[in-house]
Amino acid sequence: MTSSAIEYRLAKDNDRDAILALLAAKRDPGDRAAYVADRTSFWNWLHIDNPAADDESPLFVIAEEGATVVGAFGVIPARALVDGLVRTVYWTTDLVVQEEMRGRGVGKKLLHEVFGLRDVCLTGTMTDQAMLMHERAGSRSIGLVRHLILLNSVVSFSGFTVWLRNRYRSWKIEREVGPEDFAVEQCSVEEIGDEFDELWSRKAPEIAFGVVRDRRYMQWRYAEHPSNSYECLIARRENRLCGVVVLRVRRSGGTTRGRIIDVIVPRSETILMPVLLARAIQWFQSRGVHDVDALSADVEFQNLLQEWGFVNLPESENRHLTLNSAEGVDVNRLLSTSAQWLISLGDTDNDVRL
């Protein structure tokens, strides 16, 4: 694994600090020490405590010039439903190359080395340049995940009632269950019990591609996150869990934004979706947050968001999903079923990289 004077090898446990220092180099000098300290706990959570981790985690390839780490690229394991089967896939994480080494093919070589290690690697790129780099390394674009935002939201209960009534009328279906039959309440992720696995068992058969969101994953992803705080709205009907939405208030760079992180609602409970959406927006408003965003590949959910007033963010904010080394994966089927992908801000959230 040699390219001129640069050596490429699998990272070892004692390479963690060098990789974090390389990532920190993109920060202002005064912020770098705090960044490394913060990311150390995040690294352990993401790579070691990850319920899909194996004996080889964390899986990174590093580029070295002499004794100096000048580049790194790795993957995050996840248990995912892929065309009806549960298998381990790998989301790519940060690709970082020392500034002085750019233009020497280090990033391209790191991509090839990592993609040669694992069967199914997926990446959500946000720029044409990044997407071109991944395609040159053998990845194939399989679809687009749209990022939508609602600005300056104002929700009144009377307005919500009118909108909801029109929404149900537009379905032109007589339903025995109405929105008033659902009890919606706030809870922490830690409070979600074994009933979530039963909810997931009803949702999973509807998904062509998506990370397995069972109770263990939800606990790790949201309750055990080392720095972010999440809340849930859960809906029950006759004491049976029917839907969950995960929410977060994100503060960054002087701005505050609400984020609809995950929505788990089986199609049999579709009537619940607008109820949870309205309650989520009202939850944000009660905290003084009026800008809300969401990420989704589900066209029906996108339409629901747009009915409420959400608009698509610029193309640069969307995720172009790419797939590499797709042995045993029916790419054509994945291409045709993006509406059945369960990809959300829960897969990214600026922390869990796509």
- The full set of domain ranges for the chain reads 2-118, 147-314+337-347
Contacts 24+ apart (CB under 8 A), 46-50: 46/76, 46/93, 46/352, 47/76, 49/220, 49/224, 50/76, 50/77, 50/78, 50/220
Digit-coded pLDDT (tens) for 283-338: 998 999 989 999 888 888 888 888 888 898 887 777 878 888 666 677 667 766 77
Say which CATH topology domain 2-118 has: Aminopeptidase (3.40.630)
Percent of the chain with pLDDT over 90: 29
Q: Is 297 exposed, middle or buried (0-12, 13-18, 19+ CB in 10 A)?
A: buried
Per residue in 73-109, pLDDT tens?
A: 989 999 998 878 888 888 888 788 998 888 888 999 9
Among 177, 144, 178, 149, CA closest to 315: 144
Section 195-224 average pLDDT: 93
Domain 2-118 identical in fold to domain 147-314+337-347: yes
Beta-sheet pairing, 255-264 with 292-296? parallel
Instruction: Give the distance from CA 78 to its chain's centroid.
Output: 11
Stretch among 49-58, 168-177, 271-280 having the lowest mean pLDDT: 168-177
Sign of CA dihedral 282, 346, 123, 253: positive
Distance CA 66, CA 274 (A): 58
Judge if the upstream peptide bond of residue 58 is cis by omega within 30 degrees of 0.
Answer: yes
Q: What class is the 147-314+337-347 domain?
A: alpha beta
